[in-house]
Amino acid sequence: MFRVRLPAAPTILSLALLALFAQTHLAGCSAPTARFQVRLPAEIDVGDIERVAVADFDGLQQSGLLVAAKLTEGIVSNGRFQMFEREKLQDILSEREFSRSDHVDPATAHQLKLAGVDALIFGVVDVYSVDDQTGITKVEKKVSTGEYETVQENDGQGSTREVQKEIVETVLVDRGHVIREGTMGVTFRMASVNTGQIVAIKAETVHFSQKVWEDERQDLPAKEMILESLSREVAQRFLRQIQPQVVMRTARFENNEAAETEVGIKYAKAGLWDKAALSLRSVAVAIPTTASAHYNLGLAYDALGQHGSAADSIERAIQLDPKDRYIQVLAQVRRNAQDTAVLRNQEAGL
């Protein structure tokens, strides 16, 4: 919150400065925003692989099963690949040791190929742990000295009175703490059944750490929950390498004098980006020399995936007012266009 101390008798100049302050500072704090989804391409192109199988990973305790389960969930929910039934996979892979190998042996590849599988995902859980570390932290504490002093106190009626106040001092005392730390490290491999060679490999390590006071230990998440969360996170990191991902982006609009701008922003907040673009286009036509009108329209085009039109509108805004924000958004729009082109090429190769 910004607080401005006004003089007793404000002048026209001081009021003008206050209005300028509000425009440049307060307006920026309440810039309207809207969220939209963006599909990003996979980090690598795995070609025409369509049907995949996920083997149980090697690992301590049940870690391999947990990672395989999270991978399967992520693949099914994404829809890029078809999943081969895990029950049938176990029959094919029984008693075969390949999790640390850099290829799939010919016999296994042949059986998977007959089953209609294009690629096999497997690997090793290298690190799988959650541990508690305890320690002592020095903290400040106010303690009584057993002594008193006379002080003046307001009695609430405009007068003061003398009262005795206890004298306290600040000392350092020991307080126990607990740090719960979790780590999971996994090496993932994706092998083509046709060639038996690795087409994707990634080693990922994720961490968790939280510190609480000893008497608040019950507030820490359970170790099982931490390991499940780490398994999900590490699996998602690998999946970003081989399949498209959906992420959320935020469009930050700018207000202007046109009433239709507010209408367009309301449409955007409701996810009706086509209607938002219509409203904001009418604003850009009505007030063509207002930079924010073209900037807002560019945001709507970008959310619709019309990156060429988005870049044109934002470039027009920059011509009228070369703000840093406009330039940064233009750079992002161009990256979005590149990502869309890569995604289309990946999908065309299926």
Residue-range domain boundaries for the chain: 51-128+186-244, 133-177, 253-348
Measure the CA–CA gap between 216 and 208, rounded to whole angstroms: 18
**What are the angstrom distances between the C-alpha of 72 and each of 77, 92, 120, 186, 292?**
9, 18, 12, 15, 45
pLDDT value, residue 123: 92
Edge-to-edge strand list for the sheet holding 51-54:
82-83, 51-54, 119-154, 160-192, 198-213
Measure the CA–CA gap between 348 and 344, rounded to whole angstroms: 6
* Average pLDDT score over the chain: 87
pLDDT value, residue 307: 97
350, burial (CB in 10 Å: exposed 0-12, middle 13-18, buried 19+) = exposed
| Low-confidence residues of the chain: pLDDT under 70 | 1-29, 94-105, 350
Q: What does CATH list as the number for 51-128+186-244?
A: 3.40.50
Measure the CA–CA gap between 73 and 87, rounded to whole angstroms: 15
For residue 46, give the DSSP letter.
-
pLDDT value, residue 17: 47
Class of domain 253-348: mainly alpha
pLDDT value, residue 28: 44
pLDDT value, residue 96: 54
pLDDT value, residue 311: 98
Among residues 46, 133, 31, the alpha carbon closest in space to that of 81 is found at 46
**What are the angstrom distances between the C-alpha of 144 and each of 175, 184, 268?**
19, 48, 59
